[in-house]
Structure formats: C-alpha cells, structure tokens
Structure 1
Amino acid sequence: MAKRITLDFLKTESASGLILAIAAVGAIVLANSPWAHLYFGFIGAPFTVQLGAFTETLSIIDWVKEGLMAVFFFVVGLEIKYEIVRGELANPRRLALPVIAALGGMVGPALIYLALNMSGPGAAPQGWPTPVATDIAFAIAALAVAGPKLPPNLRVFLLTLAIVDDLGAVGLIGLLFTDHFRILELAGALVALAGMGLLGRWRRAPYLLYAVGFVIVWGFMLKSGISTSLAGVAAAATIPLEARKPGRPGVLEDFMEGLHPYVAFLILPLFAFCAAGFSARGIGLSDLFGPVALGVAAGLFLGKQIGVFGAAFLVIALKLARRPTGAKWVELYGLSLLCGIGFTMSLFIGQLAFPSTDAVAQGQVRIGVVVGSLLSTAAGMAVLAWAQRRRAGEDLD
C-alpha cells in the first residue's frame, strides 16, 4: 500500500509542480512591477482570528506560514510515520541514512559560509544559519517534475531528510533568534498531544475529534512562540494506522489521501505566492559578489550537495546504513543537489540573522538564496531527468 500511496502523491505533485512554479515566478514579477504595492499590501495585510478565548492577529503571509503550512507538515508527518512503522524506513539502517545525511547537509553549508565570511570587508559570520535549511515544498515539486518515474522510495528519503533538516533549522531559530518562549502554552500543547494519543486508542473515534485536537495543539504551539511546523509533525505521530472498520483504509491513510490534494493544489501554491516575492530594488551589481551573497549561494549549491552526498556515501560505505531500495548513486546525488533549494526558509532565516536596517546584508541574502536555489534546482532536475532516461533505456534493453 505504501508504494501505491506514494505513486499517487507523485502524480498529484507532478501536476501541481507547474502551478507551484507559476505562483513563485508570479510573486517575483509582481514584487518588482508597478503593482508591487498591491502585492506587498496583500501579503502584509493584518488579519485577526478569534475562536473563543483564542485571539491572534497576523499578516496574511504569517497566517499562511504559521497556519496553512502546519497542515502541510501534518501530511508530511503522516507519510513519514507510515514509512517508519510499515514502510521503507521501518529498517533502522534505512532510517539512519536520511537522518545522518540531513546532519551533513547542515554542517556543509555552514562551514562553506563561514569560510567566506570569517574575515575581510563586509564579512558577516552571524549569517551562517541562512543556507542550512531545505525548502521541502520546492524540493519535492522539483523531484516530482524531473523524475516522476524514479523509485518512490527516493521521495520518502528526500521527505525525511528535509524534515530533519528543517527541524534542525527550527531548532537553530529557537536557540539563536528566539528571545523567549512561553512555558505554559508549550505545556498545553504537550497535554493536547497526549490527548490525541489517547484518542488514537479509540478505534471508532470520529475524524472531527482528531481535527479539533490538531487545532488545539496548533493554537497552543502558536502562542508558545515555537514554530507550528513542529505541531504538524507531532500531531501526525498520534494518528493510528489501523482502520476504524475491517476492510476499510486505515485512519492515517484516510487523512493522507483526503488532505493531500488540498495541500498540493491550494496550500503550497498560496505559500509560494506569498513567500517567494521579494523586491530587487536597491540591489546593485557589487552586491552580487559580496561575502554574504557568495557565502549563502555557495553554501546552498556546494555545501548542501557535499554535506548530504558525502555523509550518505560515508555511512553507506561503512555499512552503517543502506541505500533506499532500488536507488542508484546518481539518483542520490540528484537529491543531494535538490537539498540546496533553500528559498523561502533561507530567506526567512536570513531576515532573522541580519537587522532590517542592514539593507546591504539583506540584499545580499536575497541574491545568495535565489542564485543558490536556482542553481541547485537546475542541476538537481537535470541529473534526475538524465537518471530517469537512463533507467528507461536500461528497461528497453
């Protein structure tokens, strides 16, 4: 069943990948057009949500990031849970590979960035966390478009790697850029998660109760000051795999198949449209070769592929982990390249690493993220497309 679900997901993402790209390009064009004020006015417009005692006012872009994207992480968490319990990652040696590769994919970019920013005019070592993150949405869409016929286990590997990578990035945000978080609200989220776990023991529990539990966990996590992406992944871990009735799909499968089209065709394109737009005004040619821009671009394009592929090669060579079933080395290398798509997450961390008053550094961050992400996308998709054609040729032979 896992293979069938993953294949269905790849078909959906292949169809939505073009929509995602159009949304991102459209945002960049609008942000640098005469209508830029309308675009930035829309994504920055305040919006208040009130449910009983819960009241929160955020901008549209923050609601998309903190609200809708939590649903995306919930769906991703569902698939990873299934693979860990019954699928490809049930073998600890296969689970170890994406985890260790993700760690390598964080260390590599940071070291390359620091090598270019430890000294000299314009150097800014505090920006080292900027290139460590992978943009899950864009990386998965790129894989779906470039290699829809490659082994489905590659997608599971990339998903797990990107989740571990982003959790590490969220941890860095918490350690380096969060002034404080609220203990009571965090405790409330943990209690709500425990309640969802107990709910999973009730075989015929209505799906509405799971939805309510997720919203409660999300609300507490939002108020605690911790990224709501953790709420999505944690809530997914409480969903049972067993079916409510004999002969029916499992609860986890029902949620995954029911939510995925909304994530692929609505949430991710909206996220891309809101988060991808940035203004190139005020960015000069000299900024293209500034230490921050070079550090971020090189960290994403070179550091990611060296860190991810190098760590994967090392642990496989030492027989500490196994390659994903059916995967070839060139395909793992293609995925390592896609991990250099930092884009929205890297832009977000870059904004935290440098004060808004430092226009030069902020401009270089944008240049580095865009250049590094575009190079990683183009190279990764080219390698994976070539690998897919090579497989097709071998099948004919």
Structure 2
Amino acid sequence: MSATHSPIPSGKGRINSTLRRFLDSEASGGLLLMAVAALAIIIANSPLSEIYFSSLKAYLGPLSVQHWINDALMAVFFLMVGLEIKREMTDGQLSSWTRRLLPGAAALGGMAVPALVYLAFNHSDPQAANGWAIPAATDIAFALGVLSLLGPRVPSSLKVFLAALAIIDDLGAVIIIALFYTSGLSLPDIAGAAAIVAVLFALNRRGVNSLVPYLILGIVLWVLVYRSGVHATVAGVLLALVIPIRRTPGMPEASPATSPLHRLEHALHKPVGFLIVPIFGFANAGVSFAGVTPSVLMEPLSLGVAGGLVIGKLVGVFGAVFLLVRAGWATLPAAASWPQVFGVALLCGIGFTMSLFIGLLAFDDPALQDRVKFGILAGSLIAGLAGYLVLRFSHRRSVALSVV
C-alpha cells in the first residue's frame, strides 16, 4: 500500500490520539484525582504551603475560593450525579428491582456499617459523633481507577456492579447531606426554591427539550438553596431530577439525539471528571503534617474514619452480598469469584471525594477537619492497596473455591 493511502501518523496525531484515549477511559478521572491529591499533600508540606492555604481563603466576590469550589463547582458535580442516578433508574443497570437488589443491598450495608464503626470510636464525644456519615461514601472515580490498573483480571460485570453500588451510595449521601447537614433554615428561600422546582417540572411536562431554560432556572435555584441553609449542592440534584429524559419512538432506550438528560450528561462528563473533581481534590486534600505525630492517627476521630472505610465498608458490602447470595435472592455478578467480590468490597473503602465533602460539612474546626483528612487518606490508602492486592492475585470463579 502506498504512503498516500497509509500515511505515517504525525507526532501531533499521536499526541491527540493518546489524549483522546485518556479522556475516553472511564477510570482516567480516578487516576488524575490520585495525582492531584498527592500534589496537594506535597504542596501543603512544602515552602509553597502558605501560598496554597492563603489562596484558598482569598475572596472572589461574596465567597472565598474554597467556597466557590465546594458550594458552586460541586453543585455541578452533584448535577452530574443526579443525572446518572436518574438515567440508571430509568434505562440502565438500576432500571428494575431485580437489578437494584444486589448493589442496593450492598450500598445500604456499605453505608450503615461504616457509620456504626465510626460511632463505636466516637459515641462518647457529641461533637465528633456529628461526623458519623464521613466513612459512608465510596469514591467511584478512585475505585475505578484502581480497577483500571488490573485490566482483564477483573470481569466487566464487577465493574458494572461497583458502578451501580456507587450510584446508589451517592444517592444515599445526597439524602444524608440534605437531612443531617443543614442549619439555619430560611423558609422564604425554601419556598422560593420549591416554586422554581415546580416551574422546572412544568417545563418538563410541557415537553420543553431545550436545556437553556432549565439551566437558567437552575442558577436561580442554586442561589435560593444556598441562602436557604440547605447545602447548595443539593440544588444540582434537584435540577437533575427535572431534566427530561426522552425516548426515541420505537426504541427501548433514550439516546443523546432525543433526550435532553443524555445531552447534558454527555456535555458534563469530561468537565466534571477532568476539571471539577480534580479541582475539589486539590483544594481539599492538602493537609500539613507539620507537628503531626503517630498518636494523631490513633485518636478516635481519625480511627473512626479509617476504621469505617476499611472495616466497615468491607463488612457492610461483602456481608450484604454474601447474605443475599446464600439466601438465594441474588447471584454473584457473572464470571466473578468470591475473592474478587471481597476485593471490590475493599475498594469501596476508598472514600475520598464524598467523604472529604461530608467531613467539611460536619466540622468547622480546622483541627478536626485535618484529623478527618488523616483518617480518609489512611483508610482510603489501606483499602485501595488491600483491594488491589486481593484482586491482583484472585482467580476467576471457575477456579475459585465455592462457599460452603
């Protein structure tokens, strides 16, 4: 074949191809998040630490940089979470009760048991007990990032199971934030927010498919929710619930060509995964180890968070799956072995993004926030390494020992 028909790729072409593959990888966001989290920790313990911390406290208009990140940018993250939940509940892996049963039970166990483990360490301290929900969340980006390092050793069914579990987990986290981490409620602003949601719902029912009015009203909704005392990120989920999901006539599922929800989710996927979540991780993972002794990690608050992530998640997720399968109400994901399910349950203990977020809501004291971060970093690191090693050396179901 001549060169005319088979050109040698240019350097630029190869770079673009590599970048495209990177952006298209489901786990690349998790790998990027690992990198920026490590960078934040390095900077926070370097001569640049003062610039790092002072920049986050600097004000841009009515809010500090950190508040813009945690309240505004993360509202877009929660919008993406809400869109994923709605899509999966309507068309995807959670569209029927049989599909929801196994990941749903695993998610509930993975939220309840870590909270109990945390409270076992902190029940005697009312202030510390307020952080009970910190180890209840799974960071899907981090977990999928670890799975991506294992390649074909992990069956795709387990990745689907983990994604479905994390989506239900996120829904639980949203409900927890709305119910337990609000303060100083303003009834007029809540009423205004409810009115905006009603208008958005009416637009949906009238068949309005343009995203423009939804997004404009979504900004107004964010302002009202922010002023109401409910955490502003809940506005993102409320907006997601009223974005229309339309099906193509004659087709069993919706598609980006006809569904506003699919268009918006597609538009947000890369900005959220490769910009918003890494920015949040960089802004919140930085913790100074100056003056920190090993005894800090042995304090009840740090131990409760780390223990909840490592032990609580493992017991809650694996225990729920084991009980359902043994009772005959569910089956293991296709081609998956018990050791692999055990490894995935360990990976659920990676609780970085949502755990950090809830930790910041639970405590205003920077010293307590630092101890939360120590616990999250230690617990997530242990869970991630342990899960990787278990999955790295586990066998497929065909060669695994069956549970008697």
TM-score (norm 2): 0.79
Residue of structure 2 in register with 1:156 after alignment: 163
Q: 1:343 aligns with which of 348, 352, 358?
A: 352
User: Which whole-Å CA distance do the structure 2 matches of 1:196 and 1:65 have between them?
Assistant: 25
User: Which whole-Å CA distance do the structure 2 matches of 1:145 and 1:191 have between them?
Assistant: 47
**Offset of residue 72 of structure 1:** 1.7
- Give a deviation string over 1:93-118, Cα, whole Å, max 9, x none: 32243333333222212322333345
Classify 1:326/1:153 alpha carbon distance in 2 versus 1 (closer, same or farther; 3 Å): farther
Q: 1:15 aligns with which of 28, 33, 47?
A: 28
User: Which whole-Å CA distance do the structure 2 matches of 1:138 and 1:256 have between them?
Assistant: 20
Amino acid at match of 2:210: P
**Offset of residue 273 of structure 1:** 0.8
Identity of aligned residues (%): 41
Classify 1:365/1:171 alpha carbon distance in 2 versus 1 (closer, same or farther; 3 Å): same
SS in 2 for 1:237: helix
Q: 2:63 aligns with which of 58, 66, 83?
A: 58
User: Structure 1 regions of 5+ residues with no counterpart?
Assistant: 1-7, 49-56
CA contact (8 A) 1:99 1:164 kept: no
User: Which whole-Å CA distance do the structure 2 matches of 1:314 and 1:10 have between them?
Assistant: 38
Q: 1:290 aligns with which of 278, 292, 299?
A: 299
Amino acid at match of 1:367: F
Q: Does 1:170 align with 2:183?
A: no
Q: Does 1:72 align with 2:80?
A: no
Classify 1:279/1:12 alpha carbon distance in 2 versus 1 (closer, same or farther; 3 Å): same
CA contact (8 A) 2:137 2:170 kept: no
**Offset of residue 185 of structure 1:** 1.5
User: Which whole-Å CA distance do the structure 2 matches of 1:194 and 1:322 have between them?
Assistant: 41
SS in 2 for 1:89: coil
CA contact (8 A) 2:186 2:227 kept: yes
Residue of structure 2 in register with 1:200 after alignment: 204
Classify 1:197/1:324 alpha carbon distance in 2 versus 1 (closer, same or farther; 3 Å): farther
CA contact (8 A) 2:118 2:305 kept: yes
Q: Does 1:95 align with 2:100?
A: yes
Flag the structure with larger Rg: 2
User: Which whole-Å CA distance do the structure 1 matches of 2:364 and 2:75 have between them?
Assistant: 27
Q: What pairs with 1:249-288 in structure 2 (closer than 5 Å)? A: 249-288=258-297
Residue of structure 1 in register with 2:318 after alignment: 309
Residue of structure 2 in register with 1:112 after alignment: 117
- Give a deviation string over 1:242-286, Cα, whole Å, max 9, x none: 169999342222111121111122111111111111111232222
Classify 1:170/1:321 alpha carbon distance in 2 versus 1 (closer, same or farther; 3 Å): farther
Residue of structure 1 in register with 2:376 after alignment: 369
CA contact (8 A) 1:129 1:172 kept: no
- Give a deviation string over 1:285-319, Cα, whole Å, max 9, x none: 22232333222211111011111221233244445
- Give a deviation string over 1:45-88, Cα, whole Å, max 9, x none: 1122xxxxxxxx22212211211122122222222212211222
User: Which whole-Å CA distance do the structure 1 matches of 2:198 and 2:206 have between them?
Assistant: 13
Q: CA RMSD in A?
A: 3.4
TM-score (norm 1): 0.80
Amino acid at match of 1:41: S
User: Which whole-Å CA distance do the structure 1 matches of 2:248 and 2:205 have between them?
Assistant: 11
SS in 2 for 1:179: coil
CA contact (8 A) 1:94 1:321 kept: no
Classify 1:202/1:346 alpha carbon distance in 2 versus 1 (closer, same or farther; 3 Å): same
User: Which whole-Å CA distance do the structure 2 matches of 1:200 and 1:144 have between them?
Assistant: 38
**Offset of residue 379 of structure 1:** 2.2
SS in 2 for 1:193: helix
CA contact (8 A) 1:44 1:60 kept: yes
Residue of structure 1 in register with 2:46 after alignment: 33
CA contact (8 A) 1:105 1:165 kept: no
User: Which whole-Å CA distance do the structure 1 matches of 2:370 and 2:304 have between them?
Assistant: 13
User: Which whole-Å CA distance do the structure 2 matches of 1:68 and 1:226 have between them?
Assistant: 16
Q: How many residues align?
A: 371
Residue of structure 1 in register with 2:57 after alignment: 44
User: Which whole-Å CA distance do the structure 1 matches of 2:299 and 2:365 have between them?
Assistant: 18
- Give a deviation string over 1:165-206, Cα, whole Å, max 9, x none: 4124414642xxx43211221222222222222222344532
